[in-house]
């Protein structure tokens, strides 16, 4: 592999420190957003208390965010709020095992 060309891609990442108290449900929400609105959506995500990480990524999806919630009702509310952010086209939610 020595001497072979490679591609290095850097993505913007922000990690928000949250206190960990008790058992929490961890979920990842991956988003497709309107072209050019990735960082606008990222800023809105970082304003949410349940968001512990948010990253602009390259590929099929544009933004991935990590949520830490107390229960499924809080997860549902958070996902609905994320889907209402202007610029969000589509979301997919994955709950950590």
* Mean local confidence (pLDDT), 5-24: 48
**How far is the CA of 87 from the CAs of 20, 38, 83, 90, in angstroms?**
30, 8, 9, 9
Confidence (pLDDT) at 51: 97
Say if residue 36's pLDDT is above 50: yes
* Mean local confidence (pLDDT), 12-34: 71
Confidence (pLDDT) at 63: 98
Confidence (pLDDT) at 97: 85
Question: 39-42 long-range CB contacts below 8 Å, 24 or more apart?
Answer: 39/12, 40/86, 40/87, 41/85, 41/87, 41/88, 42/12, 42/14
Question: Domains of the chain: which residue ranges?
Answer: 17-95
pLDDT band at 16; cut points 50, 70, 90: very low
The chain-wide mean pLDDT, for the chain, equals 85
**Domain 17-95: which CATH class?**
alpha beta
């Amino acid at each position: 592999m020595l001497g072979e060309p490679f591609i290095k891609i850097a993505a913007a990442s922000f990690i928000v420190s949250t206190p960990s108290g008790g058992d929490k449900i961890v979920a990842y929400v991956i988003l497709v957003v309107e072209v050019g609105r990735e960082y606008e959506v990222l800023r809105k995500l970082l304003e949410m208390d349940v968001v512990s990480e948010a990253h602009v990524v390259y590929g099929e999806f544009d933004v991935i965010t990590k949520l830490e919630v107390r229960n499924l009702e809080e997860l549902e509310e958070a996902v609905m709020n994320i889907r209402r952010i202007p610029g969000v086209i589509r979301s997919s939610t994955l709950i950590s095992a």
